[in-house]
Structure 1
Amino acid sequence: MLVVGGGDSAIEAAVALADQPGTDVAPSYRGEAFNRTRRQNRDAITAAVADDRVTLHLQSRVEDIGSGHVSLRYCGEQLDVPNDHVIVCAGGELSTGFLHSMGIRVERKFGTVGTGIVIDTTEETKTPHLKAA
Structure 2
Amino acid sequence: MPEINFEDYLTDAQRQEIIECEFREYAKGRAKEDYERVATNGAYQIVWEYLDKQHDGNLEKIIKKKAEDVVSNLSSFDVFRVRGIGEPKNSVAREVLDKAIRANSDLVEERVKSLIKDLSRVDIWELLEDRDVTFNG
Same fold at TM > 0.5? no
Looking at CA atoms only, which structure, 1 or 2, has the larger radius of gyration?
2
* Richer in strand (by share): 1
* Richer in helix (by share): 2
TM range (shorter): under 0.3
Q: Relative contact order (C-alpha < 8 Å, sep 6+): which is higher?
A: 1
Q: Please give the TM-score of this superposition, normalised by the length of structure 2.
A: 0.17
Q: Please give the TM-score of this superposition, normalised by the length of structure 1.
A: 0.18
